[in-house]
């Protein structure tokens, strides 16, 4: 009698790559939707929370305070990356991703009901800053867990494409944040938008966050990669691969260098642009939002193709192309926006191209970071590297650019900021191994 063949048990449904992709991407969308909304409404938030009620001419002070609060949230991200990264590496991706999406959703929704300075007095800016700090903690844990989940679940030869979905949902979040602000600006009068309309996009984060939570509660993690050897000096690795602290620190520093251009250029062109166009070039609120929306469309359009291309030719050539493009063309692009004789079509093409150049960095970036770190420290390593780069070069972008433009009167500061960071990033990217995209994750 022929024995019955025993079939292996099928993998859990939620471990399917596409389910993992959706679960990992959903929280990123909620997180960056809020960041986009905050950036678009920076001038309104400055007036409500950081401008004294009796101030006749507050100048740039309230806007600087708004960006300082924005930057503070980014400086909490490394702490969140360490806290939640270690939790994800030791306990698992799923419980960590559930925790961070709950924290982000609650903090964002609370901003939508927060009393302004006219109602709560001096407590209002402090309450807003506290909520931004909580958002920073959750955002710090979101990136590492989500990227690790998506890249570890990716089919062979598709890590770049799967990791690019993290950046793509960032673009969608920023785009929807800018789109929501633009829609409200077109539907509401300026008085209604200023009085209460700005709260609506923050409150919308609640149903979005609940949808992301539902996706993640049904998630089953893929199997971890097999034990590997540590990076650096020859020494057996711990379970699922680890790295010595000094080696890990050097890897994180190198990761910061490789994504600093992505961070600086992304926030210069995609988030800071509305306030810069209004405060420096005298554009209207609607014109500034339209320019930002176009930049985000260009960003979103190039991310997935860039990630897929990096699976074929490698991460290095695609990311180097993006870094060099921003370095060379940032200043000419800004000059086009500054020139009153530039046609509307040329302005639109310029901001679309700026967003697309950033997408060449953001598409392969998540997979590039995942490939740098062994599994036992992957969430922590890539999360801290990304969080530090964002804290210094993204979170401070609005503060640094606004302060320098106000102090020096030089309207070219945003171009110098983005180009300088991308030039340094290009040096770090040049050291990437050309075949990392073909190797198994350690």
What CATH number did the domain enclosing 117 receive? Answer: 1.20.1250.20
Instruction: Please check whether residue 9 lies inside any domain of the structure.
Output: no
Per-residue pLDDT tens digits for 417-432 = 999 999 999 999 999 9
How many other C-beta atoms can be found within 10 angstroms of the C-beta atom of residue 156?
8
What is the reported pTM?
A: 0.79
Q: Is 229 helix (H, G, I), strand (E, B) or coil?
A: strand
The span from the CA of 148 to the CA of 93, in Å, is: 8
**CA distance between the termini of the chain:** 44
Per-residue pLDDT tens digits for 234-256 = 343 444 455 678 888 999 999 99
**What is the predicted pLDDT for the residue at 3?**
45
For 149, list phi and psi in degrees, rounded to 5. Answer: -60, -45
Instruction: Please check whether residue 3 lies inside any domain of the structure.
Output: no
The span from the CA of 425 to the CA of 327, in Å, is: 10
Q: Could you tell me where the beta strands, DSSP code E, fall in 153-295?
A: none
pLDDT reading at 88 higher than 80: yes
Number of domains in the chain: 1
Q: Is 397 helix (H, G, I), strand (E, B) or coil?
A: helix
Q: Which residues lie below 8 Å from residue 367, measured CB to CB, with a gap of 6+?
A: 151, 159, 160, 162, 163, 164, 307, 310, 315, 437
Instruction: Please check whether residue 387 lies inside any domain of the structure.
Output: yes
Per the listing, tokens 């691969």 go with 241
Instruction: Please check whether residue 216 lies inside any domain of the structure.
Output: yes
Q: Which domain holds residue 399?
A: 15-52+59-222+243-438
Query: Tell me, what DSSP letter sits at residue 377?
Result: G
pLDDT reading at 357 higher than 70: yes
Instruction: Please check whether residue 238 lies inside any domain of the structure.
Output: no
256 vs 291, which has greater pLDDT?
Answer: 256
Instruction: Please check whether residue 1 lies inside any domain of the structure.
Output: no
Instruction: Please check whether residue 200 lies inside any domain of the structure.
Output: yes
Query: Tell me, what DSSP letter sits at residue 47?
Result: I
Instruction: Please check whether residue 322 lies inside any domain of the structure.
Output: yes
């Amino acid at each position: 009698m022929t024995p019955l063949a025993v079939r292996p048990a099928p993998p859990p449904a939620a471990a399917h790559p596409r389910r993992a992709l959706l679960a990992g991407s959903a929280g990123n969308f909620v997180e960056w939707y809020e960041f986009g909304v905050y950036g678009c409404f920076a001038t309104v938030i400055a007036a409500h929370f950081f401008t004294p009620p009796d101030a006749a001419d507050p100048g740039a002070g309230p806007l600087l305070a708004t960006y300082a609060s924005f930057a503070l949230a980014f400086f909490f991200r490394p702490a969140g990356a360490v806290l939640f990264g270690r939790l994800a590496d030791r306990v698992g991706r799923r419980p960590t991703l559930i925790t961070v999406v709950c924290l982000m959703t609650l903090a964002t929704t609370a901003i939508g009901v927060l009393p302004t300075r006219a109602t709560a007095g001096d407590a209002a800016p402090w309450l807003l800053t506290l909520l931004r700090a909580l958002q920073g903690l959750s955002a710090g844990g979101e990136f590492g867990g989500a990227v690790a989940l998506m890249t570890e679940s990716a089919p062979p030869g598709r890590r770049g494409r799967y990791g690019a979905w993290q950046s793509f949902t960032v673009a969608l979040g920023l785009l929807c944040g800018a789109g929501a602000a633009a829609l409200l600006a077109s539907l509401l009068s300026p008085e209604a938008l200023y009085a209460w309309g700005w709260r609506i996009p923050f409150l919308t984060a609640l149903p979005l966050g609940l949808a992301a939570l539902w996706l993640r509660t049904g998630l089953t993690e893929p199997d971890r990669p097999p034990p590997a050897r540590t990076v650096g000096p020859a020494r057996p690795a711990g379970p699922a691969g680890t790295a010595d602290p000094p080696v890990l620190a050097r890897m994180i520093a190198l990761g910061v260098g490789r994504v600093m251009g992505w961070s600086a250029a992304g926030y210069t062109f995609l988030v800071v642009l509305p306030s810069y166009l209004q405060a420096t070039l005298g554009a209207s609120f609607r014109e500034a939002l339209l320019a930002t929306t176009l930049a985000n469309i260009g960003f979103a359009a190039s991310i997935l193709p860039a990630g897929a291309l990096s699976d074929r030719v490698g991460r290095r050539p695609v990311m180097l192309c993006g870094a060099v493009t921003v370095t060379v063309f940032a200043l000419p692009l800004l000059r086009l926006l500054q020139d009153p004789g530039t046609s509307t079509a040329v302005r639109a093409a310029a901001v679309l191209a700026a967003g697309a150049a950033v997408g060449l960095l953001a598409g392969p970036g998540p997979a590039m970071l995942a490939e740098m770190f062994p599994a036992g420290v992957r969430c922590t390593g890539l999360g801290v590297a990304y969080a530090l780069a964002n804290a210094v070069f993204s979170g401070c972008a609005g503060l640094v650019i606004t302060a320098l433009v106000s102090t020096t009167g030089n309207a070219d500061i945003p171009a110098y900021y983005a180009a300088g960071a991308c030039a340094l990033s290009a040096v770090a990217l040049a050291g990437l191994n050309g075949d990392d995209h073909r190797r198994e994750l350690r």
